[in-house]
Structure 1
Amino acid sequence: MSGESIKETVREEYAKAARRVTEQQGGSCCAQVAPAGNPITSNLYGDREKASLPAEAIAASLGCGNPTALAELKPGETVLDLGSGGGIDVILSARRVGPSGKAYGLDMTDEMLALARENQRKAGVQNVEFLKGEIEHIPLPDNSVDVIISNCVINLSSDKDRVLREAFRVLKRGGRFAVSDIVVRGAMPAEVKRMVELWAGCIAGALEESEYRSKLAAAGFDQIEVEPTRIYTAADAKGLFGDNKSIEAIVQKADGKFMSAFVRARKP
């Protein structure tokens, strides 16, 4: 599948997810695989956080982590969320940086942007701006943000090098890259990786941990850390795919082989 085909498929899947939320059906980009109990997208936010958010923002969350809780955001900072979806992490970030700070959300899907702006209105936060665009071409000037966050979106890009170079460009000197993403742990047989891609991203593949580190370094980042936040087991896979005997051997090979991780780096 070409990069442009991947992008259009991602766009359509996220548009469908936004429409499901708008129609009060819920769901995620992996709904066709696991309509309920998805171990990747479930139980990411605390009760206090969820209580402060519109129900639609929670329903539209398609992430694999909670980057706003781990990014150590400070009052007055400017934050950019790559692939902001229904806006949950943007709204949480806006509250953390306070009225003297700013939170941008970047998304390429009109339906998600409309949902996010409605969620912003319901949440009553003013220091937020949602931008239409692609994470490979960030529509912000050089050296303009303090922190970049993202929640299980970079793995969907077919040009991750470009995404990381763009992230580096828009960060201020000393700025922080602090994203949640799906990361592969060590070598993996091709048939397992194909299944993992279906499970973790629904569209595109996750990077192996050392490859993620090397791509960040090539973009110019230092102080690179990859911290596991959720390691997926064969039992998790069975929960998604059911007792499908034809893939049972593949499921066992995937045990512990990929994870949700918090990926940190800094622009020197």
Structure 2
Amino acid sequence: MEVAPTAASKAVTSVYNEVKEYYGKTLKNKSDLKSNACVPSAKPVPAYVRKVIAGIHPDVVAKYYGCGLVVPECLEGFRVLDLGCGSGRDCYMLSQLVGEKGHVTGIDMTEDQLEVAQKYVDYHMQRFGYKKPNVNFVCGYIEALAEAGLEEKSYDIIISNCVVNLSPDKTSVLREAYRVLKDGGELYFSDVYSDARIPEDLKANTVLWGECLSGALWWEDLTRLAEEVGFCKPRLVTASIITVGNKELEKLLGDYKFVSATYRLFKLPKGSEKRSCLVMYNGDITGSEESFEFDAQFTFKVDKVMEVDGDVASLLSNSRFAEEFTFQPQEVNTSASGGCWAKPKAVSRNPFELVQQLGSASVTASTGGCCAGQESC
């Protein structure tokens, strides 16, 4: 059994123990949750993802408490880490997507959950037709990945599904994630966020914390903490409003509002150049053969030229997506095409505002210039 990090205070240790008790003993399955924080993804689940989830053992799925869908694209052959893997549902889902040459590691501090995950390793490897396991599970704290034996720059992608909010030390979670990611790597995660900072008296409520509510970050603090650690500015993928659905808990929370949101955080090599350019998606990513939705602002259609700013150009060209695009300096293409290329959507960085925009026609992609309404471009 792993012990809590030595620097942890008694209060932090208490949070660990309460979360372990809540997710290991109190909750037997998803129906035992007292709120609606673990809501379905705001995005439709792609057919290829539904197919791989269908291959996961029912006992593993029954103890899944995620608040979104964490399936980053372009996974074949890569190394993935799941922070707070629980019963292993997402690990087994990603096991099929990285393939036999890829690998997935799940880490969790709740031994009861890990027992379920580890119990079905052989079952899933046989079902997937793999000669040897491409999944392993580690007992440890997501704030202390080094103590759990996870090496620096050892993963291409990190995912997390409704877990960071349960941590009493979110800065350490992000710092450790940054440390174990390779240059160009990505933290792709779904979590619960609040519209303001939650006061200490609500954070002390065991049920509110265990239900992923009182431990939620104010969404603006995520941007600040991520950049302090070294990540690029977070890219908001999607969001959906959380309705608590429990009158007693709603009364305790008062006017605080919550949203489930998915973000992409990239670790770029030091000194990466940031220049706006034109890009064209080649359509080779599994499940995104016609178009690739990078985030709420940028959706790339196959063989269509699109203008991207310096930040996005740097993310695409320095990550695993580099081979999926053709890049061209914007000034090179200007005279030849007369500026005929797609533009990104105009969306808010505020996940609460994004929810409203997602339901509005105003978020429709703007193509601008001569491309407006013309398929020929």
Cα distance in 2, alignment partners of residues 142 and 230 from structure 1: 34
Q: Identity, % of aligned pairs?
A: 33
Higher relative contact order (CA 8 A, sep 6+): 1
The answer on whether the counterparts of 1:87 and 1:120 sit within 8 Å (CA) in structure 2 is no
Counterparts of residues 175-186 of structure 1 (less than 5 Å)? 175-185=185-195
| 3-state SS in 2 of match to 1:58 | helix
1:212 and 2:215 aligned: no
Cα distance in 2, alignment partners of residues 80 and 158 from structure 1: 20
Query: 1:227-253: per-residue Cα shift (whole Å, max 9, x none)?
Result: 343212xxx33x333xx6x956965x3
Map of 1:171 onto structure 2: 181
Map of 1:267 onto structure 2: 267
Cα distance in 2, alignment partners of residues 259 and 197 from structure 1: 20
Candidates 131, 134, 140, aligned match of 2:150: 140
Query: 1:113-171: per-residue Cα shift (whole Å, max 9, x none)?
Result: 11001233332252101111110111311000000100111111111111111000000
The answer on whether the counterparts of 2:236 and 2:262 sit within 8 Å (CA) in structure 1 is yes
| Aligned-residue offset at 1:47 | 4.6
The answer on whether the counterparts of 1:192 and 1:250 sit within 8 Å (CA) in structure 2 is no
Q: What amino acid is aligned across from residue 176 of structure 1 in structure 2?
A: E
Candidates 230, 235, 240, aligned match of 2:246: 240
C-alpha root-mean-square deviation of aligned residues, in Å?
2.8
Cα distance in 2, alignment partners of residues 261 and 200 from structure 1: 18
Shift of the 267–73 alpha-carbon distance from structure 1 to 2, 3 Å rule, reads same
Map of 2:136 onto structure 1: 129
Q: After alignment, is 138-147 or 125-134 more displaced?
A: 125-134
Counterparts of residues 39-50 of structure 1 (less than 5 Å)? 39-44=36-41, 47-50=50-53
Shift of the 211–197 alpha-carbon distance from structure 1 to 2, 3 Å rule, reads farther
The answer on whether the counterparts of 1:191 and 1:250 sit within 8 Å (CA) in structure 2 is no
Map of 1:105 onto structure 2: 106
Map of 2:95 onto structure 1: 94
Shift of the 4–191 alpha-carbon distance from structure 1 to 2, 3 Å rule, reads closer
The answer on whether the counterparts of 1:41 and 1:61 sit within 8 Å (CA) in structure 2 is no
| 3-state SS in 2 of match to 1:67 | coil
Cα distance in 2, alignment partners of residues 89 and 132 from structure 1: 16
The answer on whether the counterparts of 2:83 and 2:160 sit within 8 Å (CA) in structure 1 is yes
Shift of the 163–191 alpha-carbon distance from structure 1 to 2, 3 Å rule, reads closer
Q: What amino acid is aligned across from residue 158 of structure 2 in structure 1?
A: I
Map of 1:66 onto structure 2: 69
Cα distance in 1, alignment partners of residues 250 and 37 from structure 2: 19
Cα distance in 2, alignment partners of residues 201 and 193 from structure 1: 12
Map of 2:55 onto structure 1: 52
Map of 1:7 onto structure 2: 16
Normalised by the size of structure 1, how large is the TM-score? Answer: 0.80
Cα distance in 2, alignment partners of residues 121 and 208 from structure 1: 40
The answer on whether the counterparts of 1:83 and 1:108 sit within 8 Å (CA) in structure 2 is yes
| Aligned-residue offset at 1:41 | 2.4
Number of residue pairs aligned between Structure 1 and Structure 2: 243
Map of 1:118 onto structure 2: 119
- Point out where structure 2 has 5 or more consecutive residues left out of the alignment: 1-9, 269-377
- Point out where structure 1 has 5 or more consecutive residues left out of the alignment: 21-25
The answer on whether the counterparts of 2:37 and 2:192 sit within 8 Å (CA) in structure 1 is no
Cα distance in 1, alignment partners of residues 16 and 205 from structure 2: 19
1:227 and 2:237 aligned: yes
The answer on whether the counterparts of 2:53 and 2:93 sit within 8 Å (CA) in structure 1 is no
